[in-house]
Amino acid sequence: MDDMITPPTVPDAQGRFGPYGGRYVPETLMHALRQLAEQYDAARSDPEFQKQLDYYFEHYVGRPSPLYFAERLTKEAGGARIFLKREDLNHTGAHKINNCIGQALLTKRMGKPRIIAETGAGQHGVATATAAALFGFKCQVYMGAEDVRRQKLNVFKMRAMGTDVIPVESGSRTLRDAINEAMRDWMATVENTHYIIGSVVGPHPFPMMVRDFQSVIGKETKKQCHDQIGRLPDVVVACVGGGSNSAGIFYPFVGDASVELVGVEAGGRGSAEGEHASTLTFGKPGVLHGSMSYVLQTADGQTADVHSVSAGLDYPGVGPEHAHWKDTKRVHYTHVNDADALDGFSLCSKLEGILPALETAHAIVEGMRIASQRSHNDVVVICFSGRGDKDCFEVARLLGQEIDD
Ligand SMILES: *Cc1c(COP(=O)(O)O)cnc(C)c1O
């Protein structure tokens, strides 16, 4: 594909999606972010950069990922035809690698020898470590000490690929503390280090850049729909944590008014504060991690605690472009709870022989609900963001079955 990255209509030059986005960072980082935006702009319009990106997407990641007609899920839902966009078949098992390859190539172009990242459950850390090994960068990943303990397999994978995993002992010893440490590192090392943010969050240009790298998902989907059904789909559904797989599949369809776009957040155990991660349903505009967007907040404006059965959706913020899409009603946002997501995991595994990530299971449940209310002529595409191997221990535990780890 030669049109892998298209120039954005949003954000504006300040990185604003309507009132959202921007750069809420210390002055020391403003210079670095302006420089990054300039270098990304140059890369985006350089055919040689796009050629390299296409090369690694095809030969390393294994793109294009299939758009697969899920016949038995379709029969079960009893309505519209359901297609799955198989990001689980990418190298490393999810969509996150698309962004990491893109940013690693940009790092190479900028001539920086070192990459840092932060990770919660470890999925973004593994994707970053993979890209770092591929291109020979020194790589350090910050991870809350509590998460290091809970995610032994991902920590092992990162270390096996030569990445230095740094346990963060401060605060709650989880993702938010790891983000603070990564920011502190970057402020001191920005001359020789690139910070790979893992979703469409953070200060400009990250939300735009990550969306652009992930929009390969939507571009392929559009072409595959054209080839397989001869038209656009009726509905596209994706789960929303920070919002990168959803932004990636939605973005190329934003201008197609006939295509309904549905984002699915984590409904957790209920609507009480701390029991869910439905930022766009229960959050309010605020600043988190360097940009303005919807944020889950307590009554006195502190960032609220969150919960989800899936670690990748367990985030109190959301990308600023999603906030803009919500306010302009271009995308409809809803949520699916833990118990239903767990049922979706089992159903998809049994009917299709494909174990979905628990994040993905949220999108499957909503996609089936929508399909059940529509005619068989309609087509619902679900972004199958990742495979479920990583979640087997957690699902077994929740189902009361013991497997050793
Ligand atoms: C990380 C992750 C997500 C959530 O992140 P987004 O940025 O919202 O896409 C969803 N699915 C899988 C499989 C993930 O690993």
Catalytic: 96? yes
CB atoms within 10 A of CB 162: 13
Residue 99 reports pLDDT greater than 50: yes
Lining residues, ligand 1, CB within 6 Å: 94, 96, 123, 199, 239-246, 312-313, 357, 359-360, 385-386
Q: Mean pLDDT over residues 234-255, rounded? A: 98
| Gap from CA of 238 to ligand 1 centroid (Å) | 10
Q: What is the pLDDT of residues 149-161, one digit of tens each?
A: 888 999 999 999 9
Decide: helix, strand or coil at residue 256: coil
**Exposed, middle or buried, 272 (CB in 10 Å: 0-12/13-18/19+)?**
exposed
Q: 82 near 371, Cβ under 8 Å?
A: yes
- Nearest ligand 1 atom to the CA of 246 is 9
| Gap from CA of 16 to ligand 1 centroid (Å) | 23
Residue 101 reports pLDDT greater than 50: yes
Say how far apart CA 245 and CA 384 lie, in whole Å: 9
| Gap from CA of 12 to ligand 1 centroid (Å) | 26
pLDDT at 9: 66
Q: Mean pLDDT over residues 62-73, rounded? A: 98
pLDDT at 252: 98
Helix axes 152-160, 123-135, angle to 10 degrees: 10
Residue 395 reports pLDDT greater than 50: yes
Q: Which of 85, 96, 222, 326 is catalytic?
A: 96
Residue 5 reports pLDDT greater than 70: no
| Gap from CA of 193 to ligand 1 centroid (Å) | 25
Q: Among 32-36, 97-101, 171-175, 184-188, which is the least confidently predicted range?
A: 171-175
Q: Which of 291, 293, 310, 385 is catalytic?
A: 385
| Gap from CA of 30 to ligand 1 centroid (Å) | 28
Residue nearest to atom 1 of ligand 1 (CA): 312
Say how far apart CA 339 and CA 29 lie, in whole Å: 42
- Write out the E strands in 13-172: 16-17, 20-21, 67-69, 81-86, 114-119, 138-144, 164-168
Q: Mean pLDDT over residues 115-137, rounded? A: 97
Q: What is the pLDDT of residues 268-317, one digit of tens each?
A: 999 999 999 999 999 999 999 999 999 999 999 999 999 999 989 999 99
Residue 391 reports pLDDT greater than 90: yes
Residue 91 reports pLDDT greater than 50: yes
Catalytic: 359? no
> How many CA atoms lie within 13 Å of 129's alpha carbon, on the beta-carbon side?
25
Q: What are phi and psi of 351, to 5 degrees?
A: -85, -25
- Nearest ligand 1 atom to the CA of 87 is 13
Helix (H) or strand (E) holding 35: helix 27-44
Which of 77, 7, 11 shows the shortest CA–CA distance to 237?
77
Decide: helix, strand or coil at residue 186: helix
> How many CA atoms lie within 13 Å of 229's alpha carbon, on the beta-carbon side?
21
Say how far apart CA 380 and CA 82 lie, in whole Å: 5
- Average pLDDT for the chain: 95
Say how far apart CA 234 and CA 319 lie, in whole Å: 24
Q: Mean pLDDT over residues 363-391, rounded? A: 97
- Nearest ligand 1 atom to the CA of 123 is 15
Task: Report percent pLDDT > 70 for the chain.
Answer: 97
Alpha helices in 230-332 (DSSP H): 244-250, 279-282, 320-327
Q: Which of 65, 85, 87, 118 is catalytic?
A: 118
Q: Which of 118, 359, 362, 387 to mutate to test the pocket of ligand 1 (most atoms within 8 A of CB)?
A: 359
Catalytic: 170? no
Residue 230 reports pLDDT greater than 80: yes
| Gap from CA of 94 to ligand 1 centroid (Å) | 8
The two structure tokens encoding residue 26: 């210390």
pLDDT at 405: 58
Residue 4 reports pLDDT greater than 80: no
